[in-house]
Amino acid sequence: MIQFEFAGVRIGLHRNHDIPEVAVPDGFRAVEEDDKPDIFVDLSVGNASMPEPEGEPRLKRGRLEAYGDPDHMLWWHPDLGTIIELHPRAGKAHIALPASAWLQTESIFDQLLLPTLLPPLAARGVRALHASAVDMGGNSVMIAGHSGSGKTTTALLLLSQHARLVSDDLLFLYRDEGSFRIAGLGDGLRARDDVWSRFNHLKPGRVDPAGKRHLANGTVPWVRASRPRAAILVGFDALRGKLNDIQALPALLSLAYHAGDETQALGSLRTLCETIHLHGAGGSEEAATRAMQLLGS
C-alpha cells in the first residue's frame, strides 16, 4: 500500500500485482505509511465478485452512474465495465476493473480514482467545486463558473500578473484549524486553442480526448494550498458586488460536486457564503480585474 496526503486527508491506495504504478497529480503528496489512512482504496483487476447496480441511477457524472446512498454507493462505468463500491462515511472503496478493459483505460486517476475519492472526501468536509484559483502572497481568489465561462482564461490573465496557480478546473475546499483552505490537484492547465492563442509565450502539448491542450504542471508557478479571500462567479453578470447567500447559493450549488450528499453540500456552501466575499462577473476580463483588486487590497 502507498499513502498520500491531499487537502488534509490521508489516502491509502492498494493495487494488486497486475496493476502498474498509478500516476497521481503533483497535488497528492506521498507520505510514510506510519498511520492508518482516513480513506482506503483497493484497486484490482480481474473477475472480482462485486454487486450489480439496480434501478435508476441517483446521479450521473460524465460516463459514471451512481447508485445507493451516502453510506453505501455503487459507481458504474459502462464503457469500462467497471464497478466502484463505496462506503464514503467509513472511508472505504473498492474499484474492480475487468482485465478486458485494462487497455481501454486512458487514465486510472482521471477515470476511476478521482471519482472514487469525491464521496469519501466530501464525507470528511472536503468539498469539490468546478472552479479555478490563483494565489498571491498566500491569499487566493476562487474563480467559479460553468464550462466555457472563462475560468482558465481568467487564471492565465492573473498568472501573467505574477499570480501562482492553485487550480485550473477542479478545486477542493476544506477547513484547517477553523478557517477555509483550498487545494488543487496540481495537474497543470487545459484549454482549447482559441484560449492558448491569447498567450503565445506558453507552449501547451498535444490535444486530449476533450479537444483541449495540456500545459504541464511546473510550467507556471503553482502552490498546493492557499487561503481563499474571495470567490468570483464568471458568467453570472446579473450578480454584482458582494453577494448574499440567497443570491449566491443557487449559483455555487450548480458548480459543486455534491457526490450524492446534497444536504451536506448546501450546508458547506452556505458557510462559505457567510465567510468570504463573493462577486459576479460577466466575463474573464472583468473577473481578472476584480481579482487583482481583491488580491491587492
52-61 pLDDT per residue, tens: 777 787 777 7
Domain ranges of the chain: 2-124, 128-296
Instruction: Please tell me the distance from the alpha carbon of residue 116 to that of residue 132, in angstroms, as a whole number.
Output: 21
Q: Is the pLDDT of residue 262 over 80?
A: no
Fold held by 128-296: Rossmann fold (3.40.50)
Condensed to tens digits (0 to 9), the pLDDT of residues 72-88 reads 888 888 777 788 899 99
pLDDT band at 243 (very low <50, low <70, confident <90, very high): low
Instruction: Please tell me the distance from the alpha carbon of residue 62 to that of residue 36, in angstroms, as a whole number.
Output: 32
* Strands 59-61 and 39-45, bridge-based pairing: unpaired
Using alpha carbons, select from 234, 235, 241, 245 the residue that is nearest to residue 279: 241
The pLDDT > 70 percentage for the chain reads 92
Look up the pTM and report it: 0.90
Phi, psi of 26 (to 5 degrees): -65, -20
Going edge to edge, which strands form the sheet with 9-15? 29-31, 2-6, 9-15, 39-45, 92-97, 82-87, 73-77, 64-68, 59-61
Contacts for 236 with CB less than 8 Å, ≥ 6 apart: 145, 251, 280, 281
pLDDT band at 255 (very low <50, low <70, confident <90, very high): confident
pLDDT band at 271 (very low <50, low <70, confident <90, very high): confident
Q: What is the pLDDT of residue 51?
A: 67
The H or E element that residue 65 is part of is strand 64-68
Q: What is the pLDDT of residue 50?
A: 63
Cα 67 to Cα 35, 76, 95, 121, distances in angstroms: 31, 8, 15, 18
Q: What is the pLDDT of residue 286?
A: 93
